[in-house]
Structure 1
Amino acid sequence: MPAKEIKELRQSGRLEEALEMAKAELEANPENIWTKRNLGWVYYEYLKVNASAESFEDFFSWLKQLVDLQFPEDEKILFDSLSFQVGKLVFALSKEEPIPVQKIKQLADLISNFHFPKPSDGYSYLLKSFHKGLKDSGYYLQFMDWWGLENLSEQDFQKEKLPTGKEIMALAEQVYIAYAKHLLPQRDMQGNVYFNREKAEEFLPHLEALGEKYPNYQYPPYFQAKLLLALGDHEDVLSALIPFARKKQNDFWVWEVLAEAVEQEPEKVFSCHCRALVCTSPEEMLVGVRQKMAEAMIQQKLYNEAKTEIERILKVKEAHGHKIPGIINQWVSQSWYAEARTLESNKSFYRQHTALAESILYSDTPEELVFVEFVNSDKSMLNFNASEEKFGFFKFDRFMKKVQPGEVLSVRLNEGAKGGRYNVLTCKKVTDDSFKSQFQKEVEGTVKIKPGANFGFIGDAFIHPSLITKYKLSDGQNFKGKIIKTYDSKKEKWGWKLI
Structure 2
Amino acid sequence: MISSKEVFALRRAGKVDDAYQMAVQLVANNAFDEWNVKALAWCLIDLIKRDATRLSQHQLDQYTRQLTEIRITNPEESLVRQTEYVISLCNPNGKLIAQAKAFSQSGEHLESADIYRKLMSSGAIDGSICTSLGWEIYRLLNQALSFEHVNVFNAKKLLFEYLKLPAIDKPSLLHSQMLRLAAKLAGDSSFDLSMFVRYWQLNYLQDDDFLPYITDNGEQYPSLAEKVIQQASKEAALKDNEENILYILPFLDEAIDRCAENVWLKLNKAKLLMKLDRGEGALKFALEVARNKVNDYWAWELLGDVNALINSDTALSCYCKALLCRADDKFTSKVRLKVVEHLLNQGEFSAAKHEIENVIRTKIAEGASIPEQVNMMTSSEWFRSFEAESSNKSFYRDNVVAAEDLLFSQIAFVDACVGEIYTLPDRPNKPKRKLYVKIPDRSEPLEIAVPNNKHHFGLVGSGLSVKGDFDVSGKFQVYLIVNRATQQNWDIFSERVAVVDHVNPKKGVFHYVASRSIHGVAQLSDFGITLQEGDPVAIKVVQYNVKGIARTRVLSIASTDMSPAQSAYKTFSSDVRESNGMGFTEDNIFISPPLMSKYLIEDGDYVSGKAVLSLNKKRGDWGWKALFIDTVDKVDI
TM over 0.5: yes
Determine the C-alpha separation between the residues in 2 that align with 1:339 and 1:169. Answer: 52
For the structure 1 residues 144 and 205, does the alpha-carbon distance in structure 2 shift closer, same or farther, using more than 3 Å as the test? closer
Aligned equivalent of 1:329: 375
TM-superposition CA deviations, 1:238-262 (whole Å, max 9, x none): 2233223322334433322222211
Counterpart of 1:39 (choices 96, 121, 128) is: 96
Aligned equivalent of 2:200: 147
What is the percentage of aligned positions where both structures have the same residue? 24
Determine the C-alpha separation between the residues in 2 that align with 1:427 and 1:314. Answer: 35
The reply to whether residue 214 of structure 1 matches residue 259 of structure 2 is: yes
**Which stretches in structure 2 are left out of the alignment for 5+ residues?**
1-42, 66-86, 416-432, 436-449, 458-464, 471-475, 484-637
**Bigger shift: residues 171-180 or 79-88:** 79-88
Q: Is the 8 A contact 1:90 1:133 kept in 2?
A: no
After superposition, residues 395-406 of structure 1 pair within 5 angstroms as none
Aligned equivalent of 1:247: 292
Determine the C-alpha separation between the residues in 2 that align with 1:223 and 1:305. Answer: 33
Aligned equivalent of 1:471: none
The reply to whether residue 179 of structure 1 matches residue 263 of structure 2 is: no
Q: Which has the higher helix share?
A: 1
Determine the C-alpha separation between the residues in 1 that align with 2:293 and 2:136. Answer: 39
Q: Is the 8 A contact 2:317 2:401 kept in 1?
A: yes
What is the deviation of 1:107? Answer: 4.4
Aligned equivalent of 2:53: 18
After superposition, residues 90-489 of structure 1 pair within 5 angstroms as 90-94=141-145, 95=147, 97=149, 99-101=151-153, 103-110=155-162, 112-113=164-165, 115-133=167-185, 136=188, 137=190, 140-141=193-194, 143-161=196-214, 167-184=220-237, 186=239, 194-197=240-243, 200-263=245-308, 264-333=310-379, 334=381, 339-341=386-388, 343=390, 346-347=392-393, 349-362=395-408, 365=410, 425=479
Q: Which has the higher strand share?
A: 2
Determine the C-alpha separation between the residues in 2 that align with 1:208 and 1:348. Answer: 40
Q: Counterpart amino acid of 2:99?
A: V
Q: Counterpart amino acid of 1:124?
A: S
Q: Counterpart amino acid of 2:144?
A: L
Determine the C-alpha separation between the residues in 1 that align with 2:393 and 2:108. Answer: 56
Aligned equivalent of 1:4: 46
TM-superposition CA deviations, 1:157-198 (whole Å, max 9, x none): 233345787654321112112332454473xxxxxxx5335x
Larger radius of gyration: 2
Determine the C-alpha separation between the residues in 2 that align with 1:21 and 1:275. Answer: 82
Determine the C-alpha separation between the residues in 2 that align with 1:360 and 1:229. Answer: 18
For the structure 1 residues 248 and 101, does the alpha-carbon distance in structure 2 shift closer, same or farther, using more than 3 Å as the test? farther
For the structure 1 residues 154 and 21, does the alpha-carbon distance in structure 2 shift closer, same or farther, using more than 3 Å as the test? farther
TM-score by length of 2: 0.48
**Which stretches in structure 1 are left out of the alignment for 5+ residues?**
10-16, 187-193, 373-378, 382-394, 403-409, 416-421, 430-499
**Bigger shift: residues 124-133 or 163-172:** 163-172
Q: Is the 8 A contact 1:46 1:62 kept in 2?
A: no
Secondary structure of 1:316's counterpart equals helix
Determine the C-alpha separation between the residues in 2 that align with 1:321 and 1:121. Answer: 48
Q: Is the 8 A contact 1:331 1:337 kept in 2?
A: no
Determine the C-alpha separation between the residues in 1 that align with 2:356 and 2:108. Answer: 54
Counterpart of 2:120 (choices 33, 42, 67) is: 67
TM-score by length of 1: 0.60
TM-superposition CA deviations, 1:211-251 (whole Å, max 9, x none): 12221223222222122111121122122332233223344
What is the deviation of 1:66? Answer: 4.9
TM-superposition CA deviations, 1:58-116 (whole Å, max 9, x none): 5653341353464543x4xx766655542232233334646433552354234532544
Count of aligned pairs between the two proteins: 380
Q: Is the 8 A contact 2:266 2:288 kept in 1?
A: yes
Q: Counterpart amino acid of 2:269?
A: Q
Determine the C-alpha separation between the residues in 2 that align with 1:6 and 1:282. Answer: 71
**Bigger shift: residues 33-42 or 290-299:** 33-42
What is the deviation of 1:141? Answer: 4.7
Determine the C-alpha separation between the residues in 1 that align with 2:159 and 2:105. Answer: 15
Q: CA RMSD in A?
A: 5.1
Determine the C-alpha separation between the residues in 1 that align with 2:212 and 2:107. Answer: 31
**Bigger shift: residues 119-128 or 94-103:** 94-103
What is the deviation of 1:411? Answer: 8.9
